[in-house]
Chain A
Amino acid sequence: MDLTLAIIVTVVGASTPILIAALGELVVERAGVLNLGVEGMMLIGAIAGFVVQFHTGNPYLALLSGAAAGTAASLIFGFLTLSLSANQTATGLALTIFGTGFSALAGSSYSARPVTLMQPLLPEQLADHPIGRVIFGYSFPVYFAFVMVVAVRYFLHSTRAGLILRAVGENDQSAHSIGYSVIGVRYLAVMFGGAMAGIAGACFPLLLTPQWAERMTAGRGWIAVALVVFASWRPLRLLAGAYLFGLVMTMELYAKAGGGVLSVIPSELWAALPYLATIVVLVLISLRRDATTNAPACLGKPFLPTN
């Protein structure tokens, strides 16, 4: 019972940042923009969150700083790809390279300095019972992620603004000729993606490992990008996907800790598993008939008004 409990709690912790980052990227892609800089924005958010937590000890301020830093980073991407119609694939890669360097530079004087982990959101009494712990015992970002799944779903499918955003992603020329600002909508989407990636990054020092380590997001941003494809651009499927990956990553942790059956397989294979699982998942998705039919039609294409 205790082990099951511990596993569930670890899975939730590992899944939360991926889910938050992937939700942001989902909205960006629904607007027709492919931002491959998620990993870089997450690292920038992680260092911003870490520094603020280190100096203020206020995790909410740390999450906000992560969001602000991620948004700022996303604006570099937005300016290049939306205002200057630069190649989105290349710009996203550049953003990831930049974020890796920037976070390493900013964090170079903070190595081996601990911060305090974020405390659970709800009163302790609720989490006394094991089942209470599994439901009520988490810190704010875990619930934030769930709320955002519902919110993003509602926004995309039940609001006028969401409809406009999807129109911009499906047919930018028509949206433009009706009079919507394609570039404006895409800027807002890209900024939302940046804020979410920044929050996701800040979750690493606040929820998972309470210190700064270079490249501490370890490719999770790329997994978030893959998850959006996995989820066929739908928020609820994203939730399932993120928790599936959280489970795979948790198995790695237990294998490394020498957890019985799991340790028969070399720990390196467990460490490689999330990445290999991503490939397997992408393959399985491609086998489905509706595989790419859900992809926004204008995904990754620069918008140049024809009139």
Chain B
Amino acid sequence: MSGDYSTLGPSQRAGAEYAIQEINNSDDYSYELEPVYYDTETTASAGSQAAQQAIQEDGADYLVGAISSSVALGLNELAASEETVYFAGGAAVPITGEQCNEWVFRFETNTAQVAEAISGYTVENIGSNVWFHYADYAYGTSVYNRTSMRMEEASADFSEIGQTSSSLGASNYESYITQIGNSDANVAVLGMTGGDLVTFVNQAADRGLTEDVALVAPTMAYKSTRAGTGSNSVGTFGGVRYDPSIDIGDNQAFVDGFQSEYDELPGSYERTGYGSVRLIAKGMERAGSTDPAEVRDTLEGGEFTTVLGDITLRETDRQATNPAWIAELTEGDGDSADVDILSKTEGADALRPASEFGCELN
């Protein structure tokens, strides 16, 4: 839980911890889960090593987590070679795309699903002169590729005004902000997460860019982004993978329970941790076994009720068919902005065929 994603890891873990507590205290589940926690340090080597320690020393049969795409891809291979079920915590497309394998599932909504939800709405309702800025790594380029492709398909008015990229973890975005401000763009799509996005939005607001150009980012509405940007993110738009206010599936029970335990509302990462662990438990229940291979076969293609409604872990790539939303960030009561949902894309529409992402499992 350190490294570039040190903000997000602990949230995912809190969700997983809460799920384990709920499962172990509940009569609905006949198995008790024994958790062990390790820190991937956001590097592939530490991540793989920690997971191997969990498997070989602690005897873990199920893995959950890792937000960084590189760490997750390492765990993909590890899960296949050790034959453990792995629920990936990252949103990078290749995890259930080109690098998919039968042991890897994902309850996290992937980048392509969110891109689907924001692209059409943005270009039709917010603005069609779009500037793309992304952090130059797998996640950033995948946001750029998917949103620009989907926007092009969605509207004939779409025009790509320009694109820039910065290195991951860059700390100064003023030069890009100036370029965007001086162009004809009325929308800027940002393919960045965590600290990069927070810094970008804060500097953009200081420069007055947020008044002239609508900033749209798949992760803008995330709790951590909103906390880091304060009122600076008001008036921006974001993809929503999850929001505690959504009345869908058994979300309200989760929100109430989590809130009484931790005294705060769960965010998207808490939801991923919680949902992933619970899917494993449900898989065990349905399979009547804790054997990873049997649970894997039950999960594959299975339909489950989750905090995101009824979803399927698709047979073809083991990706959950989550719905996704686009929202505007509005003035909130506290320090951070509120999320005002504008439009929903249903699970079936948000997820394109697995073959498009390079995964053909069945």
A and B part of one assembly: no
